[in-house]
A and B are shown apart, each in its own frame.
Chain A
Amino acid sequence: MPSRDKSPEDASMADATAIPTSGQKEPVIGMSEENVGGLEEDGLDASGEAAAAAEEEEIEPQRVRILPGSSETAASFEFLDEGHTLGNALRYIIMKNPDVEFCAYSIPHPSEAKMNIRIQTYDTTTATEALEKGLQDLEDLCDVVSEKFWEARNEFNATKDTAMQE
């Protein structure tokens, strides 16, 4: 039976797969020194902070812009790398603002990662302010949901546990 063992090239590739480990490369050395004590907890936190710092160094590209033809009270905003997830949620919460006359979102083309939000307001506010308020309101909503979810979960688990003990 012909062997399908592809020796020469594959063997060299296999060598290349070895991950540079703590002893060999810069970024990891720093982490392993912090971890000399060998405590898992500390090591995890330290590496988490290191990565968070590394992420902050990267400047986030501007992903929101106002589309041409907009005015103070009637503007279209373009969001890059956002979709229905944020679009529809934000549309709902902006529509709940009494100073907003009209709000809608669309994804102009399915193969472009772009989401547009149209906001028209009354004179009492501006489109940009309505967008900022929408983001804030949505964040407040998230806080309430996670708070209530955890309460309900703990309560359910507690009653389940007592039921099992009985």
Chain B
Amino acid sequence: MAPSSGRRSAPTKEQLEDRKTVGINKETVTNTVSTDFPDHFPDEDHAWDVDHFRDNFSIQFHQNDQFDSQFSLIGIDASIANAFRRILIAEIPTLAIETVFVHNNTSVIQDEVLAHRLGLIPFQGDKKGLRDFIKPFVKPAEGADQYSTTFDYNTVCLKLNVECTHNKDAAPNEKDPQKLYHNAHVYAKDIIFDPVGDKQPEIFSGEGIIKSTNPDILIAKLRPPQVINVEMHMHKGYGSDHSKFSPVATASYRLMPIIKILQPILGAEAKKFQECFMPGVIELEKVTKEEASKKGSGYEGRQGEPKAVVANPMHDTVSREVLRHEEFEGKVKLGRRRDHFIFSIESTGQWDSDELFIESVLMLKLKINKLKPQVENMVRSF
């Protein structure tokens, strides 16, 4: 070949595919680092370009329930996808119980343990009210009155007042404590919203009342004559301060699995191959007449036999089980797509899961917009 003329041919489709694939081998991983930077490949640009990004970026939804959604971000770098994930967990504010005033607690659960349990209960209420009316709580200055910054627009009051008593109507040989006593179990639904001021009762009324998302969370078990009588203040806070403020139960992503069958896998082997993966990932198809009659295809004379076909790699866990079996050596290649993120967001109830992702993008934007003037105002002397 002639010495390089300074111009290389553009990468082929296969080459581009290989670049985006993280190799997952028996004992090693390969090609793990992003290479889409200027000067990485000769004569390739890779400079940031919004239009190029817009053309290559796509989103696919797999599931979109109110509190649970799954979708793919395709054509984005891990550093950006990870920023969204981190913001989802730690930087979107929610309302949670922050202070518990124990008037009386004669249950077996100690005050501080009860307070901690109460803090972790997720609550929901009118979305607009929670987002716009309720503001983050600002701690009072040192020496100032403890409640000098406590207002109806930054604090929500809740009450829990239960007493366990004997149930006079219970059958004489009744063993079930729930029937034998009243209030033997204290649930999250027993917590009552106590609106304060003019606007709270208006905003958080009807469907929008502040209540626990999961009414059947067990808080404590009581026996006569035990009593729990507490008042609670809820504040708006951030997951970075305490995970009770996190709007998500889980927010995670994984990379799209790739399974490449390099040589035909037929007959009994195909069945075994299928069992190496999660259900639904590999399907068995019959070898067709054309395939069997084609020379050098590996299917000669095997018409009608089952062959393994990759049906739905998304559901695979990439357990690498298939690589433990000698008979599949060289017949299959496992990998993951570096720029295909399968996000899974499960909300705790204050936000809808799809809104949460939008909010995380807006939060990153807000962060940037706060920093722009900071960089401009920065003292430029070294």
Interface of A toward B, CB cutoff 8 Å: 1, 3-5, 10, 13-14, 16-22, 25, 27-28, 31-32, 35, 38, 40, 43-45, 47-48, 51, 60, 62-66, 68-71, 75, 77, 79, 82-86, 88-89, 91-93, 95-98, 128, 131-132, 135-146, 148-153, 155-157, 160
Q: Are B382 and A146 in contact (CB under 8 A)?
A: no
Task: Summarize B's interface: helix, strand, loop or mixed.
Answer: mixed
CB distance from A63 to the nearest CB of B (A): 6
Would you mind naming 15 contact pairs between A and B with Cβ atoms under 8 Å apart?
A3-B104, A5-B104, A19-B197, A22-B152, A88-B79, A92-B79, A95-B37, A138-B364, A146-B358, A149-B71, A149-B354, A149-B361, A152-B58, A153-B61, A153-B71
A14 to B364, Cβ gap below 8 A? Answer: no
Give 8 closest A-B pairs by Cβ, nearest first. A156-B61, A96-B48, A98-B38, A152-B59, A92-B79, A70-B382, A21-B197, A88-B79
* 10 extra A-B contacts, CB within 8 A, seeds A10-B103, A17-B157, A142-B361: A5-B104, A22-B152, A70-B382, A83-B86, A85-B364, A86-B83, A92-B77, A141-B50, A144-B53, A146-B358
Complex CA–CA separation, A63 to B135 (angstroms)? 23
B76 and A145 contacting across the interface, CB-CB below 8 Å:
yes
Q: In the complex the two chains form, is B196's CB within 8 Å of A19's CB?
A: yes
Q: Which residue of A lies closest to B227 (CB)?
A: A5
**B83-103 vs A: 1/0 string, CB under 8 Å?**
110110011000000000111
A85 lies within 8 A of B91 (CB)? yes
Note all chain A residues with C-beta closer than 8 A to B80. Answer: 89, 92, 141, 145
A154 to B379: give the CA distance in the assembly, Å. Answer: 46
- Residue-by-residue, is B54-73 near A (CB-CB < 8 Å gives 1, otherwise 0)? 10011111001000000101
Q: How far is the CA of A142 from the CA of B84 in the complex (A)?
A: 10
B173 within 8 A of A: no
| Nearest CB of B to A10, in Å | 6
In the complex, B30 has a CB within 8 A of chain A: no
B311 touches A (CB below 8 Å): no
Report the separation of the CA atoms of residues A38 and B364 in the bound assembly, to the nearest whole angstrom.
35
Interface contact B64-A4, CB-CB below 8 Å: no
Query: A89-B364, A157-B64 in contact; A66/B50 too (CB < 8 A)?
Result: no
Number of A-B contacts (CB under 8 A): 217
Min CB distance, A48 to chain B, in Å?
5
Q: Is the interface of A mostly helix, strand, loop or mixed?
A: helix
* CB of B41 within 8 Å of the partner chain: no
Cα A79 to Cα B358 in complex, Å, equals: 25
Residue tally, chain B, CB below 8 Å to A = 81
Given contacts A44-B128, A71-B382, contact A135 B199 (CB under 8 A): no
Q: Spot the interface stretch: B7-15, B211-219, B365-373.
A: B365-373
Docked-complex contact A96 and B105, CB < 8 angstroms? no
Q: Is the CB of A153 within 8 A of B354?
A: yes
Instruction: Report the bound CA distance from A96 to B36 in whole Å.
Output: 8
B252 at the A interface (CB under 8 A) = no
From A100, which residue of chain B is reached at the shortest CB distance?
B38
Per-residue A-contact encoding for B138-153, CB less than 8 Å = 1, 0 else: 0000000011001111
| Chain A residues near B362 (CB-CB < 8 A) | 142, 146
For chain B residues 95-122, which have a beta carbon within 8 Å of chain A? 101-106
Contact A4 B79 (CB under 8 A): no
Cβ of A88 and Cβ of B378 under 8 Å apart?
no
Residues of B within 8 A of A70 (CB): 382
B264 within 8 A of A: no
Instruction: Give Cα distance in the complex from A139 to B39, angstroms.
Output: 24
Chain B residues 195-218 with CB under 8 Å of chain A are 196-199, 202-203
Taking A21-B197, A148-B57 as contacts, is the C-beta distance between A88 and B82 under 8 angstroms?
yes
Q: A22-B199, A64-B374, A69-B382 in contact; A85/B87 too (CB < 8 A)?
A: yes
- The one of B59, B106, B151, B377 in contact with A19, judged by C-beta atoms closer than 8 angstroms, is B151
